[in-house]
Amino acid sequence: MNDHTFGPGVFSRNHLPYLRRAHAKRVLFRSQKRWAGARELLDKRGHASIYFTPVGGDGRVHYAGRLVAVELDPTPATLERLRNELKARDVTTGKEGLWSGTCRTVYVVEIEQLQEPFPMTELEKLSGEGALSAEYGYAYSLVRRMGEAA
């Protein structure tokens, strides 16, 4: 992946230790929010980018890549299947709380740390509501880099 190849996708925040662990491999994250718009974008386009700003960070996108899959309202059977797939690939997730609490969405990403992070304010919402503000704190938003075609 190169910094200049990313297109329309999803902006989110995550904790830096999880982002560091996810660098350059396929990983699973979870959300208590339902990522219906992200799932629709992925289904419609067949691919979507993902942009991450670390929680408590400097407001710049430090990690980006590809959103591989989005599973809404996962059933216990789906969560067990995902847990087994990760275990088979030697990925440890037991300490991350993926398997307990409310889980409305699980999503799989392939990300890398950007050599040149950029301000999250350079991402504009696909809804046409303008750029993300530096204080944007919601679970996720559908975005593209400013000046990119939707």
Mind listing the pLDDT tens digit for each residue in 81-121? Answer: 877 776 665 555 555 555 555 677 888 888 999 999 999 99
pTM confidence score: 0.83
The rounded Cα 40 to chain-centroid distance in angstroms is 14
- Checking if the pLDDT of 3 tops 50, the result is no
Tokens representing 133 are 């503000």
In a domain, 150, yes or no: no
Q: What is the CATH number of the domain that holds 31?
A: 3.10.590
Q: Write out the residue range of the structural domain in which residue 45 sits.
A: 3-145
pLDDT in tens, 44-62: 998 899 999 998 999 999 9
Q: Which residues pair with 114 in a beta bridge?
A: none
Provide mean pLDDT across the span 139-145: 90
Query: Domain count of the chain?
Result: 1
Measured between alpha carbons, how far is residue 89 from residues 14, 47, 83, 85, 97 in Å? Answer: 23, 23, 10, 6, 18
